[in-house]
Amino acid sequence: MRIGLIGAGNIGRLRANAINRSNSCELAAVVDVDLQRATAVAKTSRGAAYTDYQTLLTSESVDAVVVSTPPPLHEEIVVSALENGVHVLCEKPLANTLSAARRMVEAAAGTGNKLATGFNFRYIPSFRYLRKTLDSGAIGELDHVRAIAGHVGLSEFKAEWEHDNNVVGGGALMDIGIHMIDLVRYTLGEVADVYGMATENIWKLGGSEDNGFALMRSPEGRAATLQASWSEWKGYKFQIEVYGDRGMVQASYGPMRNTLIYTDGHGRRQKKTNQYRKIAVQEKLLGWQRTIEKSFQLEMDDFARYCQDGVCGGTLADGYAGFRAVEIANAVYSSTESKRAVSLSEPF
């Protein structure tokens, strides 16, 4: 598939490397309002460089675009691309408002073109292992989920917009938390109700919570708890634990690890761990970017299959998953105001 990349910043550059390494995609053109950035990234594949995404849509024959601009631009670019007959993979959060996210999903349905959300953590090996373990039945019937995603906050950000509520649509929950919200939903099946609380006592950024807490209930009555944090003083933490009636499985990144505790055929409790030493060494030598690029590459290959066969597959997050994650973060904000649980909308 011929891919146009829109937004050649920190994530766009990694996306370009992943497209260049993918077996199914080729980087045909790059757009950035900063021509130097667009040109530098386009050079990696001898693609064309533009400063306006409309020029890309009208003058290049691309099959799909990857959108990695800041969130407020996602809706306009994604809807334009879909209406121009082009499939889209859009970075997280799908949009900075729930209404924009809904319009994007509706545009995909209305045009028949595909929309995927860049929830690449689903492709990180420890989280793939988690999903596979649940599917295998090793921990029995799923009972509840416990999740945390956090970092130390303001010093982690490269750009001011990353902690601006008007740009991102929230704070920790819409930043690192949105990946974990997606993983909780991916694990639980679906979320029906959310009771939550968002606090901003530390950074006092006016609408960007530094901590978001959610208690979620699945339609079957299963529970999940989640914390997204910008005051994880110990450093980056991204971990999910899933408890079943016969064991539990834990998955984390930074460091990448799994622990599985299960009951064997003789009723004995067993423990298994994965340490991903090769990846740890690779990250020490080459940085975490390699791990993220690899997850982008696997995601691109699934995205290409989705566009060509119309089947989303087991791992790729579609546009609806992106909408639902924004809806869950927004439900925490509403619940903070009302001090009541919030029911999510009916599937559409």
Q: Which of 1, 5, 8, 108 binds ligand NAD (CB under 6 A)?
A: 8
Choose, by CB under 6 A, the member of 24, 70, 97, 255 that binds ligand NAD: 70
The one segment of 55-63, 64-72, 123-131, 253-261 that binds ligand NAD by CB under 6 A: 64-72
Cα 285 to chain centroid, rounded? 26
The answer to whether residue 36 forms part of the interface with ligand NAD (CB under 6 A) is no
Q: Which stretch binds ligand NAD (CB under 6 A): 7-15, 109-117, 122-130, 190-198?
A: 7-15
Residues 6+ apart with CB under 8 A from 185: 191, 321, 324, 325, 328
Q: What is the CA radius of gyration of the chain?
A: 20
| Size of site (CB under 6 A) for ligand NAD | 23
Minimal distance, residue 256 CB to ligand NAD, in Å: 15
* Ranges within 148-207 binding ligand NAD (CB under 6 A): 159
Q: Whole-angstrom Cα distance, residue 23 to residue 166?
A: 38
| 283 φψ region: left (φ > 0), alpha (ψ -120 to 50), beta (else) | alpha
Angle in degrees, 0-180, between the axes of helices 289-309 and 277-286, rounded to the nearest 10: 110
Q: Which stretch binds ligand NAD (CB under 6 A): 5-13, 276-284, 313-321, 340-348?
A: 5-13
HSE-up of residue 179 (Cα within 13 Å, Cβ side): 21
Q: Which stretch binds ligand NAD (CB under 6 A): 26-34, 132-140, 234-242, 317-325?
A: 26-34
- Cα separation, 201 vs 218, in Å, equals 30
- Counting beta carbons within 10 angstroms of the beta carbon of residue 64, is it exposed (0 to 12), middle (13 to 18) or buried (19 or more)? buried
- Cβ nearer to ligand NAD, comparing 177 with 247: 177
Q: Which stretch binds ligand NAD (CB under 6 A): 30-38, 55-63, 103-111, 340-348?
A: 30-38
Question: Which of 34, 83, 245, 264 is in the footprint of ligand NAD by CB under 6 A?
Answer: 34
Question: Can you tell me which residue has the tokens 């979320």?
Answer: 191
* Residue number, 212 or 244, with CB nearest to ligand NAD: 212
Residues that bind ligand NAD (CB under 6 A): 6-12, 31-34, 37, 53, 68-71, 73, 91-92, 118, 120, 159
